[in-house]
Amino acid sequence: MATKFSDLPNNTNAKWWKDPGMRVGFVHIITLYTAVYSLGYDGSLLNGLQALTEWNHDFGTPTGTKLGLIAASYYLPKIPLTFVIAWMVDRYGRKIGLYMGALFMFAGALLGGFCHSVSQLVGSRVLLGVGTAAAQVTAAALVPELAHPRIRHYAGGFLNTTYYIGSIFAAWLTFAMVYYPGTSSWSWRVPTLVQGFGPLLLGLGAYFIPQSPRWLVKKGRADEAHKILATYHANGKMDDELVLLEMREIRASVELEKAAESASWLAWFHTKGNLRRFFVIIILGTATQWVGNGVVQYYLVPVLKTVGVTRPAQTTGVNGGLAIWNWFISMSGASLVERFGRRPLFLTSIIGMFCSFVMILGLAGGYNTNHHESTGVAMIPFIFIFMGFYSLALTPLPMLYVPEICPLALRAKAAALLLLAQNCAQSFNQFANPVALSAISWRYYAVYVAVDAIYIGLFWFMIRETKGLTTEEAAVVYDPDHVKEANMAAEKKMHEEAQKVAHAEHEDKKAAFEEEFKA
């Protein structure tokens, strides 16, 4: 039976917040969280800006295709760049992705805050998109690689919940700007410029974040990796049993990956296990955008208009309340991930979204038939219920689940593939959603009811459990054949080593007997 990290003595305090090494490691992880915080800030910011009178005045009240272009410009550059970023952080290390992400995001916030035309606004969002792509890919790969095994599932699970911290901040800042005195464009410029706060923290904090131990081992710098693991996982004790286990597992996984030549993007199609992983990542990436949340998160203002909620204070207030609700539920989901497991949370989430969207469709249709205000207002609680089920699993789990089910050589590529699937799905949404809402209004919700039903089947048959496993153990749950072959090879090697030892002992005894006989 394989040794588990929980079975080994470890030079750390039982409570991580009382342990010096784990506390510093936690600060590094919080710094990495700002990558996702920045994404959430933008998601809520665009919703809030659409409700501001001065923003609509300065940019000609964009709707339909024009609004879709402004929104999609954030995601379109991410599609080709995910491949470049994954290659870059695999070749040159994770930290270069953090510096690149912080620089581009900060530049995008400055340009957006001082822009005067739609073209400049689109340009700023392109810069922001490039920056968040680099930061997200890097953070998703680096968080599980740096986290202590004892808190790895929490560290990975809480990563995406910081989306809603950014969302809350942006939502309530734009709500406050509704009451900004006068008719100044600073009502939308201030929250746009504040968007640069997250990348500034990320850029400064990246200097102190250590390099990935797994990447260092892969590059032949095992001593550096050993020192980092000892520093943050055992308070500097180099011969700590947990640290030694981590080093053995990392070395073993690196050797297996080198033997399998798994560093290529084509490696997704080399084994049945990798092919399963590929489809699971695509399913999760598209699900995070195509279950109906794209309509609510980016087009809340036109959605609320379909049921008669139109005043700026109302729409920004709902936006702000929704952000707080989503954050609370996503934190709960991240806390429950190791208790209930990944698969039960995923299934609860998608089934709950399907049921609540059926109610949203029915209430929207009812309002547009009888125009009763109470029917329209009743849709708002179901928007909260729907987003609650979404935030339970699809916010905290993908960034945890995807890196942990992949071997080291594919880990950064897996994060990039997840981001690629999300951005392709989101880019389609940004063009299709505003056009469809303008053309067929509430009837468009029926599409998402059907899509959610399809995802229920996909989740049921494709998602496997990784509860209670270390990084290296979780990386092989989709590789039962590969694991069996690796175990057989390991047993064969151990048998050969035992035979060599036995033969050497026999020769030694024989030589000793001959010496004694001669004497």
b/e 111-136 (16+ beta carbons within 10 angstroms → b): bbbebeebeebbbbbbbbbbbbbbbb
Residue 489: pLDDT band by 50, 70, 90 thresholds? Answer: very low
pLDDT in tens, 446-482: 888 999 999 999 999 988 888 767 666 676 778 765 5
Average pLDDT over residues 30-36: 91
Q: Which CATH number fits domain 263-466: 1.20.1250.20, 3.30.300.30, 2.60.40.10, 3.40.50.2000?
A: 1.20.1250.20
Given this model, what pLDDT does residue 1 score? Answer: 45
Q: Summarize the confidence of residues 483-505 as an average pLDDT.
A: 50
- The verdict on pTM exceeding 0.75 is no
Q: In this predicted model, which residue has the larger pLDDT, 311 or 419?
A: 419
Q: Regarding predicted confidence, which is higher, 474 or 9? A: 9
- Sorted by sequence, the CB contacts under 8 Å of residue 436 that are 6+ apart come out as 444, 447
- pLDDT > 90? residue 105: yes
Examine domains 9-209 and 263-466 and report if their fold is the same: yes
Percent of the chain with pLDDT strictly greater than 70: 82
pLDDT at 502: 54
For residues 90 and 413, is the Cβ–Cβ distance under 8 A?
yes
Return mean pLDDT, the chain. Answer: 81
In this prediction, residue 439 carries a pLDDT of 74
Q: Which of 134-138, 328-332, 347-351, 374-378 has the highest mean pLDDT?
A: 347-351
Write down the pLDDT at residue 488.
46
pLDDT at 300: 64
Phi, psi of 476 (to 5 degrees): -120, 15
Please give the pLDDT value at position 100.
92
Tokens, residue 106: 């900060």
Give the pLDDT confidence score for residue 303 in this predicted structure.
65
CB 89 within 8 A of CB 97: yes
Please report, as a single letter, which amino acid is at residue 479: D
- Please say whether the beta carbons of 477 and 469 come within 8 A: yes
Q: Which residue has the higher pLDDT, 75 or 329?
A: 329
Q: Where are the domains of the chain?
A: 9-209, 210-262, 263-466, 480-518
pLDDT > 50? residue 278: yes
Largest distance between two CA atoms of the chain: 113
Q: Where in 126-173 does DSSP place strands (E)?
A: none
7 vs 423: which has the higher pLDDT:
423
Distance between alpha carbon 334 and the CA centroid of its chain, in Å? 12
In angstroms, the Cα distances linking 383 to 116, 430, 462 are 34, 19, 28
Q: How far apart are CA 142 and CA 452, in angstroms?
A: 31
Instruction: Render 62-121 in DSSP notation, one character per residue.
Output: --HHHHHHHHHTTTTTHHHHHHHHHHHHHHH-THHHHHHHHHHHHHHHHHHHT--SHHHH
Tell which wins on pLDDT, 61 or 96. Answer: 96
Q: What local confidence, expressed as pLDDT, does residue 262 receive?
A: 47
Statement: residue 371 has pLDDT above 50: yes
User: How large is the average pLDDT for residues 293-322?
Assistant: 68
**With 70 as the cut, is the pLDDT of residue 487 above it?**
no
CATH number at 9-209:
1.20.1250.20
**CB neighbours of 266 closer than 8 A, spacing ≥ 6?**
none
If you average pLDDT over residues 61-73, what whole number do you get? 78
Q: Give the tens place of pLDDT for each residue, 87-99.
A: 888 888 888 999 9
Specify the pLDDT at position 518.
59
Average pLDDT rounded to a whole number, residues 487-507: 52
Give CA–CA dist 342/457, Å, rounded: 16
- Orientation of helix 222-234 relative to helix 241-260, angle to 10°: 140
pLDDT at 182: 60
pLDDT in tens, 117-135: 888 999 999 999 899 889 9
CB 411 within 8 A of CB 279: no
Tokens describing residue 112: 């957006």
User: Pick the residue with more confidence: 388 or 67?
Assistant: 388
pLDDT of residue 209: 93
Nearest to 41 by CA among 103, 109, 96, 102: 109
Give the model's pLDDT for residue 483: 47
Determine which of 193-207, 257-271, 339-353, 402-416 has the lowest per-residue pLDDT on average.
257-271
Tokens at 137, concatenated: 């890919």
Q: How confident is the model at residue 307 (pLDDT cuts 50, 70, 90)?
A: low
Which tokens go with 449?
A: 């009811």
Report d(CA 164, CA 418) in Å as an integer: 19
Kindly tell me the sign of the dihedral angle through the C-alpha atoms of 146, 147, 152, 155: negative
Per-residue model confidence (pLDDT) at position 306:
61
How far apart are the C-alpha atoms of 436 and 21, rounded to whole Å?
52
C-alpha triplet 336, 339, 345: angle, nearest 5°: 55
- What is the predicted pLDDT for the residue at 346? 93
What residues contact 60, with CB distance under 8 A and at least 6 apart? Answer: 66, 118
User: Of residues 494 and 318, which shows the higher confidence score?
Assistant: 318
- The number of beta carbons lying within 10 Å of the beta carbon of residue 18 is 10
Name the most confidently modeled range: 97-101, 133-137, 483-487. 97-101
Residue 321 corresponds to which amino acid? G
Higher pLDDT, 27 or 292: 27
Q: pLDDT band for 494, please (50, 70, 90 cuts).
A: very low
Spatial contact of 261 and 407, defined as CB atoms under 8 Å apart: no
Q: By mean pLDDT, which of 84-88, 170-174, 482-486 is the weakest?
A: 482-486
Burial class (CB in 10 A: 0-12, 13-18, 19+), 193: middle
Residue type, 115: C
Question: How confident is residue 274, by pLDDT bands cut at 50, 70 and 90?
Answer: confident
Q: Which of 22, 31, 3 is nearest to 148 (CA)?
A: 22
